[in-house]
Amino acid sequence: MKSLCCYILIALFLPLPVASCQQGYVDYSQAEQFLPASVVPTLYNMSVTPNWIEGTHYFWYLHDGRDGKNYVLVDMENATKTPAFDHRRLAEALALVSGAEVDPSDLALSNLTFRNGKILFSVLNRTWQYDLKDHFIEKVSTALSEPRFFKFRRHDEPYIVTEIRAIAAAKNGELLSPNGKLTVYVEDHNLWLKETGTGDKYRLTSDGSKDYAYAERSGTVLHPVSVARLNETTIPYAVWSPDSRKIATFRMDQRNVTPLYLLEYVPDSDSRPRPWEYRFAMPGEEHVPIYEPVIIDVLDKTVLPVSYEPQPEVSLMDTDSDVLQWWSDDGRTLYSLFAERGEKALRLLETDPQTGQTRVLLQESGPTYVEANLDYASLPNARILKNGDVVWFSEKSGYGHLYLYDSDGRQKNAITRGDWAVRTLLHVDENRSLVYFTAGGREPGRDPYFRHLYRVNLNGSELTLLTPENADHSIQMSPDGSAFVDTYSRVDLPPVSVLRGLSGNVTLTLEEGDIRNLTDMGWKPPEVFSIKALDGKTDLYGLLIKPTGFNASKKYPVVETVYPGPWTIVTSKSFPGDQSWVNKIFWRGQALSELGFVVVTIDGPGTPYRSKEFHDASYGHLGDAGGLSDHVNALEVLAKERPYMDLNRVGMFGHSAGGFMTAQALLSYPGFYKVGVASSGDYDSRFYGSFWGEKYEGLDANYTEQVTSRKAGNLTGDLLLITGDVDDNVNPCMTMQMVNAFIEADRPFDLLVMTNRNHDLSYDPYYIHRLFDYFEEHLQNNCSNGRC
């Protein structure tokens, strides 16, 4: 152990090469203004998030525009929008009550709720109630107290401030019941109940323990070291019944899972290194976490085991929300998915919450993983109808489609069909036998990743396109299915948010995106391209991102920013107006391009949202890293018609699986890819979570084909490896495996270990500066292994 510690400490201080090609300090301010944290706040009206007001035909949303924040009330029936309340009067009331300065154009209200002519909201560290008619404002506490009235005047308008007993919003770490009167939370690995009105607490379970816990996820998917270090709270892994009487959850058992370790080198400047231990299951190991389903009656405080086998941990657990279980609308039935280890078989289960008795409604298996939604770890595209029929998603035809089954699991008919893929099942109107869903790839001549909204009869007839615009459509349907909000955009088309009727007609334009600040900086949209894959028939799609000072007569080094999937794509399809995962990648690429690079994204074979065959290209072949041969071919084809692309200077960078892909690229195509920055790479899936490798490489697969370190002797370019010392998602052991292989192969490389950083380091300022430095030195200035 002592010699191992010394080895790792030595690796920590391997120096980066002297930037001999640089002349003094490099000013990155031009590039940094395009980083996501800088550019996204300058964009306005990027989306509309409707907050439906229960039992009415209204919703409200926050208009975040150049003129400030305004709350807007929309009448769907009459297709009108108005201010949700008088912002000036509310601001004055808050200022008088709190003594704080309150800007009416910057009211940051949270937990805003409309109820009986009043609004309830939180701001200034308190909860308030405001009467929209009489303009009374009331300060709310969760404790019982007698009302206390304070009267004052402002511009001859009375406000009354009262402390009252009220329903408090759910706090961090608590899961709020549908009726708002209860929350549940986890304490000491047991589930507790709290009344929101009184604050009274009750223990629901008592036999939970650290590795055999209620409503918790395992150390393999939870990232428990980060939770502990950063003092984070996690919400219970559970689902409330509609009547707020019961909770469906699991008792997670990881007692037999093998521990894994981290060493935090510098907890603070005066402390010894701190070891961390957590349980982490790897592919092929005998023991993985299992989840025993239970139903808890919060009134009787009873725990009912579900009569079915425990669920082994699979990719559907790789999300904070419990997407495996859901209740019928009347709360009389619990539905759930059961995925076998390796995810080649999926079952839909029906459970009686009174007895725990469970039966299989339908099941599906396949030669590779079976999914209920093409979006990773998302709610299944399934609906159980009142007559017992089931709407079910399947890729059995070669594309993701919807099917209708009877209550005995027999297929009645295909609801959708064709060489295109259903994305999300949004609504089933049982009275009219209509299904509403989004899909991509159906409309000829359009990007197959663009989502459109469709309507079809349950019998599969009369398929109708409801969103005709050539763009990606983000749809939010009203709870009663009477209307929907559509925000549509492309990378070259700022967002437009509209209210549509069920026939697709636009009834009201809500917002139009404002990117004036961006265009004032000289920004132009990226070039969208499609290239034939090596098979000669499949189209691959991507973006060319150019600097604002682009000059087609010059030669530019080319850098790919990559992610191989298999769970998602790397190319933005809608306008990058938020800080979602894929849009942050886009803006980081734009920032790098400002240093004089053409930055490219391509989604190759093995990524989702196309055909099953296209997605399965990576199954058992993760070492191909998203179709590297197709990436090389695409760049060569692009450069033939774009002489400004200098293919003598090609680099790549990526994080996590993108780091893996970057290392694979430099080692598999060393004559093509000259420079790479690979951060937090999962270079060997044998040491990543069992849920991942067993799904995408295979439960009984031979993992040697994807072991990056086996190719270490091929390195001829410049490669910078980066890892965080407390990465509890992709353990640093995989980076150290690469370090060891390069040392044994006597190949020069660069290493950066970022202290006190977990997996989320790829937008850290220090990371960004080293990324810029490395490509500036080794690619922009034609350096090789530190020599110009």
Cross-strand pairs, 279 = 259
Better-scored residue on pLDDT, 138 or 223: 223
Overall average pLDDT of the 106-125 stretch: 90
Q: Residue 105's closest CA among 128, 86, 130?
A: 86
Residue 160 has pLDDT above 80, yes or no: no
Alpha carbon distance 80, 528 (integer Å): 36
Q: Is the pLDDT of residue 166 over 80?
A: no
pLDDT of residue 26: 72
Q: What is the tens place of the pLDDT at every residue in 671-713?
A: 999 999 999 999 999 999 999 999 999 998 889 999 999 999 9
Tens digits of per-residue pLDDT, 322-366? 999 999 999 999 999 999 999 999 999 999 999 999 999 999 999
Three-state secondary structure readout of 16-77: CCCCCCCCCCCCCHHHHCCCHHHHHHHCECCCCCCEECCCCCEEEEEEEECCEEEEEEEECC
Q: Are the CB atoms for 130 and 93 separated by under 8 Å?
A: yes
Q: Cβ(682)–Cβ(734) under 8 Å? A: yes
At 269, the pLDDT band (50, 70, 90 cuts) reads confident
User: Could you tell me if residue 786 is left (phi over 0), alpha (psi between -120 and 50 degrees) or otherwise beta?
Assistant: left
What distance in Å separates the CA atoms of residue 334 and residue 242, rounded to the nearest whole number?
Answer: 11
What gap in Å lies between CA 569 and CA 609, rounded to an integer?
A: 9
Would you state the pLDDT for residue 147? 32
Q: What's the whole-number mean pLDDT along residues 224-236?
A: 95
- What is the radius of gyration, based on Cα positions, of the chain? 28
pTM across the whole model: 0.92
Q: Are strands 157-165 and 137-141 parallel, antiparallel or unpaired?
A: parallel
541 pLDDT above the threshold of 90? yes
- HSE-CB at 722 with a 13 A cutoff on CA atoms is 30
* pLDDT recorded at residue 177: 94
Length of the chain: 788
Provide the pLDDT for residue 12: 41
Task: Give the pLDDT mean for 713-729.
Answer: 98
Check whether 183 has a pLDDT greater than 80: yes
Q: Is residue 369 a contact partner of residue 565, using CB atoms and an 8 Å limit?
A: no
Q: What is the mean pLDDT of residues 757-764?
A: 97
d(C-alpha 73, C-alpha 259), whole Å: 52
The residue-averaged pLDDT of 207-227 equals 97
Identify the CA nearest to 510 among candidates 526, 499, 525, 524: 499
pLDDT above 70 for 409: yes
Least confident of 55-64, 126-135, 580-589, 655-664: 126-135
Does 299 have pLDDT greater than 90? yes
pLDDT, tens digit, 9 for 90 and up, residues 375-407: 999 999 999 999 999 999 999 999 999 999 999
Mean pLDDT of 607-611: 98
Q: At a CB cut-off of 8 Å and minimum separation 6, what does 347 contact?
A: 337, 338, 339, 360, 362, 363, 364
- Provide the token pair at 781: 């200035």
DSSP 8-state assignment for residue 354? T
Residue 163 DSSP one-character state: E
Q: Torsion angle of alpha carbons 435, 438, 444, 449, nearest 10°?
A: -160
SS3 labels along 380-400? CCEEECCCCCEEEEECCCCCC
Check residues 541 and 5 and name the one with the higher pLDDT.
541
Region 710-718 average pLDDT = 98
Choice between 254 and 25, residue whose per-residue pLDDT is larger? 254
DSSP result, 464-482: EES--SSSEEEEEE-TTSS
Nearest alpha-carbon partner for 400 in 408, 392, 409: 392
Look-up of token digits 């289960």:
349
* pLDDT tens digits, 421-431: 999 999 999 99
Strands 750-754 and 493-500: unpaired
Asked whether residue 137 carries a pLDDT value surpassing 70, the answer given is yes
Q: What percent of the chain has pLDDT over 90?
A: 86
Mean pLDDT of the chain: 92
DSSP at 167: P
Nearest to 627 by CA among 609, 608, 603: 603
Calculate ∠ Cα 447-451-454, nearest 5°.
120
Widest Cα–Cα separation across the chain:
83
154 confidence band (pLDDT: 50, 70, 90): very low
Listed range (195-199, 203-207, 390-394, 494-498) with the worst mean pLDDT: 195-199
